[in-house]
Amino acid sequence: DAGVIQSPRHEVTEMGQEVTLRCKPISGHDYLFWYRQTMMRGLELLIYFNNNVPIDDSGMPEDRFSAKMPNASFSTLKIQPSEPRDSAVYFCATGDGLNTEAFFGQGTRLTVV
């Protein structure tokens, strides 16, 4: 397995634009997590899914953020409209719920100008 695959690796967009981040989980993993990493706040859990169903979205900062998992092999995190303070590295991670380890993708570095 190629691991957790995120795209794009880097995204630069103008304030007000819609941004969509993508994640392909490891096959067979039924937990998927979206994290945001900033210097100020460290690593924050935004939302996680189990079997494609959102379980806890209490970390989603605002209504401008939304996440979907239409099937077991794909998830998106959308920001609309984007703001400069959304600039961060966004990580997708997956796990099988039975194991102790969450496997991380390489992240998407988002810059909103």
Partner 1 sequence: GEDVEQSLFLSVREGDSSVINCTYTDSSSTYLYWYKQEPGAGLQLLTYIFSNMDMKQDQRLTVLLNKKDKHLSLRIADTQTGDSAIYFCASGAGSYQLTFGKGTKLSVIP
Q: Is 26 in the site for partner 1 (CB under 8 A)?
A: no
Q: Is 101 in the site for partner 1 (CB under 8 A)?
A: yes
Residue 64 has φ and ψ, to the nearest 5°, of -70, -15
Min dist CB 23 to partner 1, Å, is 11
Q: Is 107 in the site for partner 1 (CB under 8 A)?
A: yes
Task: Output the CA angle 76-105-61, nearest 5 degrees.
Answer: 50
Query: Binder to partner 1 among 31, 46, 60, 88 (CB under 8 A)?
Result: 31
Side chain identity at residue 100, one-letter code: T
Query: Binder to partner 1 among 21, 46, 48, 75 (CB under 8 A)?
Result: 48
CA distance 82 to 49: 23
Identify which of 111, 108, 112 has the alpha carbon closest to the alpha carbon of residue 36: 108
What are the residues binding partner 1 (CB under 8 A)?
A: 4, 31, 33, 41-43, 45, 48, 50, 55, 91, 93, 95-97, 99-107
